[in-house]
Amino acid sequence: MTARNKYNFAFLDEGSKREIRRAILKAIAIPGCQIPFGSRELPIGRGWGTGGIQITLSIIGPDDVLKVIDQGSDDSVNAVSIKKFVNTCTGAKLTTDSEEATIIQTRHRIPEEKLREGQTLVLQVPNPEPLRFVERSLINARKLHADMDYSAAWLALYEQITLYDKITLGADYPVMTDGRYVMAPSPIPRYDTMALDDADCLYLFGAGREKMIYAVPPHTSVKPLDFEDYPFAVEYVKGRRCRVCGAEGVFFDEIFDSGTGERYFQCSDSGFCKKNADRANGERGVSVAADSEG
């Protein structure tokens, strides 16, 4: 590939990257508030993580170590494609190890291993507007945020309880950030939501198509919207066990064996799973790649 010689470092021109960094700084200063930015077109499709990629391209330096995951997996087609693109135009080192990475770009998962101070998790966001499910119009939604008028969102949750005796929101469960802004945490499972609260790392959210950036700085309060008698609940993971590494109590992919019709579980976080399996196998003196089952 000769792309690095033909294009600027990190693809975008310096002026564009600076603009995006300004939006990021503003987002960090007002946790959970959506900051509009002049989203650029990338060689990767809108809706395929271009918001996250633009953040990554704007903050990455030659010494950074990058990990990219898609729904938990390091090897998913789009994670591979994004990784390759960023590496081609920056030369930054790649890893699958959450602890080694300085920047982790992710679609719809937060790694199982707790992230530390100095690490940045860049989340790809399809729909940055948490009020979209109650208010179609962007103009009206902006007014509701300004007035901190979240009654419609609360009412929608209450309606679900009257219909199903349960809050039926799945991934992308709306949260209150810093006691001020209702925020879409991106379609992470509910299981991951609590990792946003009082974290040591920095979370940056990029919506390329909708042209918004927002952030959860370290040690910010992030609380899911719920009721005292109907508390926020994560997905059911109890009693499940990863068939590759044996992990329990983590978020799983559900897999059907087409031969036997059997259903089993495997860690959704592939980097964590591999490490865990290597450790277990190391103790037993065998080395088997975690994904050799695939």
Partner 1 sequence: MAYVAVKGGEAAIAASIELLTLSRSGGAGRVEPDTLTARMRQLLDRVMCESGLYAPEYAALALKQSEGSPEEAVFLMRAYRSTLPRSHTSRVIDCRDMRLARRISSAFKDIPSGQMLGASFDYTHRLLDFGLADEREEELASARTRIIAGADQTAAEPDMRAGRVSDLLKAEGIIKPSPPDDAEPDDITRDKLILPASRSARLQTLFRADTGFVCGVAYAGLRGYGFSAHPTIGELRAGYVEVEIPYPSDGNESIVLGEIMFTEVEAFVSSHTSSRDEEFDELGAEIGYGLAFGKAETKAIAMSILDCALNHPGDAPPNDEEFVLLHGEGLEMSGFISHLKLPHYVTFQSKLDNVRATRRGGNHKEKETGNDGAE
Which residue, among 292, 288, 105, has the nearest Cα to 203 in the 3D structure? 105
Contact between 98 and 272 under an 8 Å Cβ cutoff? The reply is: yes
Subset of residues 112 to 131 that bind partner 1, contact rule: CB under 8 A: 126
Known catalytic residue: 89?
no
Single-letter amino acid code for the residue at 30: I
- The correct pick among 7, 9, 133, 154 for binding partner 1 (CB under 8 A) is 7
- The correct pick among 252, 271, 276, 277 for binding partner 1 (CB under 8 A) is 252
Measured CA to CA, the distance from residue 116 to residue 118 in angstroms comes to 6
Contact between 243 and 291 under an 8 Å Cβ cutoff? The reply is: no
- For 104, 214, 283, the CA distances from 59, given in Å and listed in that order, are 12, 14, 39
Known catalytic residue: 245?
yes
By C-beta, is 44 or 152 nearer to partner 1? 44
- The correct pick among 9, 180, 230, 281 for binding partner 1 (CB under 8 A) is 230
Active-site residue among 33, 89, 201, 267? 267
Binding string, residues 183-212; x marks residues near partner 1 by CB under 8 A = ----xxxxx-----------------x-xx
- To partner 1, the closest distance from the beta carbon of 279 in angstroms equals 20
Active-site residue among 33, 208, 242, 271? 242
Measured CA to CA, the distance from residue 79 to residue 124 in angstroms comes to 11
Known catalytic residue: 242?
yes
Contact between 119 and 201 under an 8 Å Cβ cutoff? The reply is: yes
- Count Cβ atoms within 10 A of the Cβ of residue 123 and give its class: 0-12 exposed, 13-18 middle, 19 or more buried: buried
By C-beta, is 181 or 265 nearer to partner 1? 265
81 binds partner 1 (CB under 8 A): yes
291 binds partner 1 (CB under 8 A): yes
The span of 64-72, 114-122, 175-183, 278-286 binding partner 1 (CB under 8 A) equals 64-72
Measured CA to CA, the distance from residue 214 to residue 223 in angstroms comes to 16
Give me the active site residues, please.
32, 242, 245, 267, 273
